[in-house]
Amino acid sequence: MNKRARRTLLAIFGIPTSPKVKWAEVNALLSSLGVAKREGSGSRVRFTRDGRVLGIHQPHPRPELKRYQVEAVREFIRLIGEAPEEQ
């Protein structure tokens, strides 16, 4: 995992939940973790790995995820076993 992906991972797992996590950074992080991405209709996106699924809407018009979306990504990363060791 590169430095940028690691920084994004730590931002996702930060408490309190950050409202400044960007969609492009989450995409890059999940891709580096071997997560498959499939775009649906509209802004719907589905990420899958090891039978685990995260369905989420791509944020717009702003690039940042809302807090509940960051928390959903956090839970998905926990489920696939990629949470940082500090957590």
Burial class (CB in 10 A: 0-12, 13-18, 19+), 18: middle
Please give the mean pLDDT across all residues of the chain.
93
Architecture of domain 3-79: 2-Layer Sandwich (3.30)
Report whether pLDDT(80) > 70: yes
What's the pTM value of the predicted model, to 2 decimals?
Answer: 0.91
Q: How far apart are CA 37 and CA 53, in angstroms?
A: 10
Q: Are strands 44-49 and 52-57 parallel, antiparallel or unpaired?
A: antiparallel
pLDDT at 87: 45
Judged against a pLDDT cut of 60, whether residue 3 lies above it is answered with: yes
- The pLDDT of residue 86 is 63
pLDDT tier for residue 1 given thresholds of 50, 70 and 90: confident
Give me the mean pLDDT over the 22-49 stretch.
Answer: 95
